[in-house]
């Protein structure tokens, strides 16, 4: 009468066991659930146990019957565990003011992996047996062409790492500017947070045009400096007031003046950055900015970050070329408002 769980999962190579393992939050993790020994169950239940990543012995909450499924007799049930995890996940994690925040042991790591380990306890109405699966999701997701079922502890968290661009590369790339490095750890019961840190390059070129840091779809952080940069302001008028040809500065003996037909202005800043002559390998990891959920602009080497919208990115990748230029356009999220009437 034991509940049978297809431990090979629907995709060969994915892992769903009682031992905490990694997966990507924004990728499917489908399992098949079925009864054995001739028992015909009609319902399957999944309890969600939420544990702290920094200490799995701490249970944040227990959600009984978080998933309840009707099944057809003698037919296996398919459940996507990451769809359940995404319903609970707190995606509001991009609250960084500087590099120190981004690599903080307190909250910076929560943009790399989930702040919770999700434990799924599976039961049915025809068995008292419980099957347990524990997963620690990496906050990201890969394209179909880059998908591999297994997500090991030594998983590369950026496209640069995949291309072999490691710490020694960044130490000599953009002088005086910080760079971020990260790697997963073995998810022990005591602490499953990733290793995060920053360093400062002591050699290389001066990114006098600007510097950006962006979240890789693979879960980590990437950076690049630009030689050429420009910024501009856009202004928008607020309000609409009817006016005539002119008004008087005084009810008696005044002078004519043109009154404002708007109540205020709102201004935003835009930036255009360009880096010249990247190698074809560098362009490959720079292209990940197009799929990034968060792009930060750093005006100088002080480490202050400003979250901006990526308006456009030009990252040419031609298999017949040896490289090319990398350019991005950023628009400010924050705005300055002034009242005039």
Distance CA 123, CA 146 (A): 34
The answer, yes or no, to whether residue 324 has pLDDT greater than 50, is yes
Residue 151 lies in a domain: no
The pLDDT of residue 129 is 79
Can you tell me the distance from the alpha carbon of 249 to that of 69, in angstroms, rounded to the nearest whole number? Answer: 75
pLDDT at site 246: 87
pLDDT higher than threshold 70 for residue 319: no
Classify residue 23: in a domain, yes or no: yes
Judgement on whether residues 186 and 332 belong to the same structural domain of the protein: yes
Looking at the structure of the chain, the number of domains it has is 2
Average pLDDT over residues 141-165: 93
Question: In terms of domains, do 125 and 54 share one?
Answer: yes
Position 194 pLDDT exceeds 80:
yes
3-state secondary structure the chain: CCEEECCCCCCCCCCCCCCCEEEECCCCCEEEEEECCCCCCCEEEEEEEEEECCEEEEEEEEEEEEEEEECCCCCCEEEEHHHHHHHHCCCCCCCCCEHHHHCCCCCHHHHCECCEEEEEEEEECCEEEEEEEEEEEECCCCCHHHCCCCCCCCCCCCHHHHCCCCHHHHCCCECCCEEEEEECCCCCCCCCCCEEEEEECCCCECCCCEEEEEECCCCCEEEEEECEEEEEEEEEEECCCCCCCCEECCCCCCCEECCCCCCEEEEEEEEEEEEEEEEHHHHHHHHHHHHCCCEEEECCCCCECEEEEEEEEECCCCCCCCEEEEEEEEEECCCEEEECC
Clarify whether residues 269 and 219 are in a common domain: yes
In this structure, the answer to whether residues 72 and 184 fall within a common structural domain is no
What pLDDT band is residue 269 in, cutting at 50, 70 and 90? very high
260 within domain boundaries: no
Q: What is the mean pLDDT of residues 182-189?
A: 90
Q: Quick one: pLDDT band at residue 321, thresholds 50, 70, 90?
A: confident
Asked if 117 and 193 sit in the same domain, the reply is no
User: Same structural domain for residues 117 and 180?
Assistant: no
Same domain, 179 and 224: yes
Within this chain, do residues 140 and 179 fall inside the same structural domain, yes or no? no
pLDDT-based confidence at residue 317 (cuts at 50, 70, 90): confident
Percent of the chain at pLDDT > 90 equals: 72
Determine, yes or no, domain membership for 240: no
State whether 11 and 67 are in the same domain. yes
The pLDDT of 173-194, averaged and rounded, is 92
Q: How confident is the model at residue 41 (pLDDT cuts 50, 70, 90)?
A: low
> Does 250 fall in a domain?
no
Q: Do 298 and 206 have their domain in common?
A: yes
Which whole number is the average pLDDT over 93-117? 94
pLDDT at 7: 45
Is 69 inside any structural domain? yes
Answer yes or no: do 23 and 122 share one domain.
yes
State the pLDDT at residue 331. 95
pLDDT band at 125 (very low <50, low <70, confident <90, very high): confident
Q: Tell me, what CATH number does 168's domain have?
A: 2.30.110
Q: Which domain holds residue 165?
A: 159-233+265-339
**CATH number assigned to the domain comprising residue 60:** 2.60.40
> 49 and 169: one domain?
no
Average confidence score pLDDT of the chain: 90
pTM here is: 0.89
Q: Is residue 238 part of a domain?
A: no
Alpha carbon distance, N-terminus to C-terminus of the chain? 77
Looking at residues 193-199, what average pLDDT do you find?
A: 94
| Residue-level pLDDT at 37 | 61
293 part of a folded domain? yes
């Amino acid at each position: 009468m034991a509940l049978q769980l297809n431990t090979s999962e629907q995709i060969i190579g994915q892992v769903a066991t009682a031992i905490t393992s990694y997966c990507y939050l924004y990728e499917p993790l489908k399992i098949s659930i079925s009864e054995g020994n001739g028992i015909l169950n009609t319902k399957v239940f999944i309890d969600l146990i939420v544990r702290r990543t920094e200490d799995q012995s701490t249970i944040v909450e227990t959600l009984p019957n978080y998933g309840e499924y009707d099944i057809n007799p003698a037919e296996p049930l398919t459940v996507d565990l990451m769809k359940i995890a995404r319903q609970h996940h707190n995606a509001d994690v991009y609250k960084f003011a500087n590099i120190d925040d981004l690599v903080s042991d307190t909250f910076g790591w929560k943009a790399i992996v989930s702040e919770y380990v999700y434990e799924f306890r599976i039961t049915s109405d025809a068995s008292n047996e419980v099957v347990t699966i524990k997963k620690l999701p990496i906050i990201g997701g890969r394209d179909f062409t880059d998908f591999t079922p297994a997500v090991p502890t030594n998983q590369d968290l950026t496209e640069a790492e995949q291309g072999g661009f490691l710490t020694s590369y960044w130490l000599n790339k953009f002088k005086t500017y910080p760079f971020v490095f990260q790697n997963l750890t073995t998810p022990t019961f005591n602490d499953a947070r990733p290793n995060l840190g920053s360093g400062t390059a002591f050699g290389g070129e001066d990114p006098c045009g600007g510097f950006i840091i962006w979240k890789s779809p693979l879960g980590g952080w990437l950076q690049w400096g630009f030689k050429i940069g420009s910024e501009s302001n856009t202004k928008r008028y607020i309000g609409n007031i009817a006016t005539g040809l002119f008004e008087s500065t005084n009810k008696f003996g005044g002078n004519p003046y043109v009154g404002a037909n708007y109540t205020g202005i709102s201004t935003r800043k835009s930036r255009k950055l360009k880096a010249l002559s990247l190698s074809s390998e560098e362009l490959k990891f720079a292209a990940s900015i197009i799929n990034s959920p968060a792009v930060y602009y750093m005006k100088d080497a002080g480490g202050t970050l400003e979250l901006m919208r990526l308006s456009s990115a030009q990252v040419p990748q031609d298999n017949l070329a040896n490289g090319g230029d990398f350019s991005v356009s950023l628009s400010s999220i924050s705005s300055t408002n002034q009242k005039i009437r």
